[in-house]
Chains A and B, each alone.
Chain A
Amino acid sequence: MPTATILSKIKERFPGAVLDITEFADEHILHVQGQDILLVLTELKVDGFNFLADLTAIDNLNLGGFERFAVSYHLLSHKTTERLTVKAYIPEEKPSLPSVESLWKTADWQEREVFDLYGIKFEGHPNLIRIMNPDDFDGYPLRKDYPRLGRKERSDFPVIKRPFKKEKRTE
């Protein structure tokens, strides 16, 4: 089944979920509501997009778009080698959407990464904790309103001196 047919079928089946279907550089992009992402991706997996190549997020702070955050799923069909991008939009006030870890195990760590850097919560994820930043880290650094140089976390450590060496060395 060609991708365009699959997408129109999805739109028929979930009229409330699909926001838009666009095409860019010969590849289709499906824009959906965040809350319905698990239903849509379950259907797409049945339709042949069996491989989750990547999962990431976008902060549309000043870029427009349906909502502030978009979680982006990059699917690949091993049978037809066609690719499809699904963007799930979620609002700033409640940045959460269902986890797709039940469909693809690879989503486990990738959703943790998105959670770590964007603060987007994935409902039903088995172990949603920070994956790269320290556990006591405060804030979500890949959000556009996070300062590039951080909030002094890189200079917040105790200063260690040589305990048995008298100050101060020569020169």
Chain B
Amino acid sequence: MHSDDIKPNVLTTTLESAVNWGRKNSLWPMPFGTACCGIEFMAVLAARTDVSRFGAEAIRFSPRQSDLLIVAGRISIKMMPVLIRIYEQMPEPKWVISMGACASTGGVFDTYSVIQGVDQFIPVDVYVPGCPPRPEGVVEGLIKLQDLVGKEKLSDYSLTPTK
């Protein structure tokens, strides 16, 4: 093939950029909605904010088909083992958005039965404040997460479990 034919059709980049570009623009969210944030999250998918513009519209209610866990709502002590199980079922690479005050800090529910922030037990990448956050806020959080995913290095990962 002549080099003039190649030039407009071929793009050279690093493997890392190509992989990250693919990952960040096709996040598959798994919503873990336990409260009003779960209701607000539905609006994120609807026409007005429309996360399909960012490639994250394929909501899966199975953790095995998802790479983004959105914890939306307060997590009780009875729900935390379920959340941990769901997080562990997700295949790598995986990310977590903590949506709203309750998931991030326990919110107003400072009581014996409510987890005071899921980040005590599972790794959280992006926190979205609000009670509940507006859909625009969740989209902002998603874009922030896309930036994080875009900056990841393949060398950040090991082939065997690190622990």
Contact = CB atoms under 8 A, between A and B. Distances in A.
Interface in A125-147: 132-134, 137, 141, 146-147
A26 interface: no
Interface stretch (A35-43, A84-92, A152-160): A152-160
A94 interface: no
Interface string B76-102: 011011001001100011100000000
Nearest to B80: A157
Contacts of B78: 132-134
B112 A163 contact: no
Nearest to B106: A154
B61 interface: no
Contact of A164 (B81, B121, B148, B158): B158
Contact of A161 (B93, B148, B160, B163): B163
**Secondary structure dominating the interface of B:** loop
A150 interface: yes
Query: A-B pairs with the 8 shortest C-beta distances?
Result: A150-B112, A163-B161, A134-B78, A164-B92, A157-B121, A160-B122, A164-B157, A157-B80
Contact of A160 (B93, B110, B111, B123): B123
A143 to B, nearest CB: 12
Nearest to B160: A164
B114 interface: yes
A137 B87 CA distance: 23
Interface string B121-163: 1110100000000000000000000001001000111111111
A151 B113 CA distance: 10
Given A141-B113, A169-B156, 7 more contacts: A133-B77, A147-B112, A154-B115, A157-B121, A158-B121, A165-B162, A167-B162
Contacts, number: 81
A160 B115 CA distance: 15
Nearest to B155: A166
Given A162-B94, A165-B156, A170-B151, A154 B123 contact: no
Interface of A: 132-134, 137, 141, 146-151, 153-155, 157-167, 169-170
B79 to A, nearest CB: 10
Given A164-B158, A164-B161, A159 B120 contact: yes
A161 B158 CA distance: 13
A58 B47 CA distance: 49
Contacts of A159: 120-121
A110 to B, nearest CB: 19
A163 B87 CA distance: 11
Contacts of A146: 112
Given A154-B112, A165-B156, A160 B162 contact: no
Given A160-B87, A166-B157, A150 B111 contact: yes
A149 B78 CA distance: 16
A148 B155 CA distance: 46
A58 to B, nearest CB: 20
B121 A149 contact: no
A151 B111 CA distance: 11
